[in-house]
Amino acid sequence: MHVTALGARGSARRAPRIASSIARSIIGALAVITVTAYDTPAADSPYCEAWRHNGGEAQLWLVDAEIPAEDAMPVPLRLNLPLPEGLVAEVAQGTDGPFTHQGAQRFAWDFDVPVGTPVIAAASGVVVSAVSGYDDWGPEPSWRDGANRVVIDHGAGLFSAYVHLGEDQVYVARGDRVEAGQTLGTTGLSGQMTGPHLHFHVENAWSDTLPARFFSPTTLTCELFPLGGDLVTGALSEPFDDHGPSQAPPEIFTDFGISDLTGAPARLFSTRRKYTVAGAVTAGFTDAVFLLLPEGGGRAVFARRWPVGPDGHFRGTLDLKDVPPGEYGWAVVASSDESATVARSVRCVVVR
């Protein structure tokens, strides 16, 4: 079966065989196919085929909010369970779980493991978030942002998140390259929870969760879809290809009047390099404005304004050498005023 998929730069291209239904989402009049350009493993393949992502070009990965979780096409990312090899754990809450796995956070798993359980990288990539300073927890939603966590960039705009690690129990740092099977830290009590467990999900650049599957040591395929109440066993397949870091998807800020964005990373910025950022701006605006915001929102800590040319495009240099390393939010927005505001921003990290 073949489908036409929207490429990273908006061009139509042919997508190879796919295994299930296609989930779509609409941005204005633009239909974005959730899963693009990958091959289903052959029936006799001993392991899941490594995914090639067109040299790292990012996709704007989206999924229809109405599609049942079991029918949603998983992202083409080969994943191990984030558990130590041989460890048996119950799935306390699966996708569309009734407690906290709803809305944009619906495609996620909670594994019932005790405090101090090693947390394992599900696939190779680059660490774009590493938080370990929280020491408290509770059941209310207000605790959600107070969780120790690690987020890994696997390239092409796909990220995996590991949440509820222990205070000072994160063993990796922002910008580190990690391998599949590497220990990221140990579980603890932090954030929104009623008891010890490990939360795991795959997400897009906007931190919205995406459907995924795990490597199964029983069938030697990437078809494991644990449900709530299931028992799963940690297992490591052969080493995976190393991808990441991701570039920002070209259409990530279309809601802000920016399209065809190039030159900006999705989540990992460095103070030691300069970025040449370019794109198109909706007619009627005179500038494109880059904003770097506090992680929790507020007044920009850094801004850069680039004028729009007669052809409706902008191009400028971004240099963050004076920005303190840390976790932030960022956006590029079309503007004609002295000030610029955004309703939300993409989580990012600035490293040296």
Look at the domain 254-351 and name its fold: Immunoglobulin-like (2.60.40)
Rounded percentage of the chain residues whose pLDDT exceeds 70: 82
What stretch(es) of the chain map to CATH 2.60.40.10?
254-351
Which residue from 346, 351, 296, 348 is spatially nearest to 173, judged by alpha carbons?
A: 351
Q: Other C-beta atoms within 10 Å of 70: how many?
A: 11
Band of residue 55 on the pLDDT scale cut at 50, 70, 90: very low
State mean pLDDT over 271-292: 97
Q: What would the DSSP string read from start to end of 179-209?
A: -TT-EEEEE---EE-SS--EEEEEE-TTS-E
Contacts of 317 (CB under 8 A, 6+ apart): 274, 275, 276, 277
Tokens of 163: 């949440």
CATH superfamily of 88-233: Glucose Permease (Domain IIA) (2.70.70.10)
Rounded percentage of the chain residues whose pLDDT exceeds 90: 62
Q: How far apart are alpha carbons 17 and 210 in whole angstroms?
A: 20
- What 217-225 contacts at long range (C-beta under 8 Å, 24+ apart), as own/partner pairs, is 220/45, 220/46, 220/47, 220/48, 221/41, 221/45, 221/48, 222/41, 222/48, 222/74, 222/78, 222/79, 224/81, 225/70, 225/74
Look at residue 2 in the predicted model and tell me its pLDDT: 24
Query: Which three-class secondary structure state does DSSP give residue 70?
Result: helix
Query: Which three-class secondary structure state does DSSP give residue 8?
Result: coil
What stretch(es) of the chain map to CATH 2.70.70.10?
88-233
- pLDDT per residue over 201-233, tens digit each? 999 999 999 999 998 877 777 889 999 999 999
Identify the weakest region by mean pLDDT among 105-109, 110-114, 239-243: 239-243
Contacts of 311 (CB under 8 A, 6+ apart): none
Q: Do you know the residue count of the chain? A: 352
pTM reported for the whole predicted model: 0.83
Q: What is the chain's Cα-based Rg?
A: 20
Strand partners, 120: 183
Query: Which three-class secondary structure state does DSSP give residue 296?
Result: coil
Contact 90, 231 (CB under 8 A): yes
